[in-house]
Amino acid sequence: MNLREGKGEQLSTMYAGRRAPGGVFYAVSYHYVKKCKHSSAGRHPATGDLGGIDIPIIEELKRRGCKTMELELSNGRKFFIPFGIEEEAGIHVKEKIG
């Protein structure tokens, strides 16, 4: 099965007060892909671990019935997890405002 099947829909998030790309959701396969362009992208802001997906994106993926998630780093390495694992093992960080 090709997880990137069909036309993916670009999701968006906010970064530094501006709209930013938030990954692509493939409705046919219920698969989400976060592709990182920079070497530091895809890292959790507090721990440096792989991940770093914004909570609004996670909420949107829940709403859409996401089943699998993929993180593609700038060096081409890909990581896959079933959706829902991030809630069990993830660390939530709230952005400080002000």
Contact between 73 and 40 under an 8 Å Cβ cutoff? The reply is: no
> pLDDT tens digits for 32-51?
999 888 766 666 666 666 66
pLDDT at position 9 is: 95
Residue 69: the pLDDT is 92
Torsion-angle region of residue 76: left (phi > 0), alpha (psi -120 to 50) or beta? left
Report which of residues 2 and 11 the model is more confident about: 11
Determine which of 1-5, 63-67, 90-94 has the lowest per-residue pLDDT on average: 90-94
Q: Is the pLDDT of residue 25 over 50?
A: yes
The pLDDT, as a whole number, for residue 98 is 36
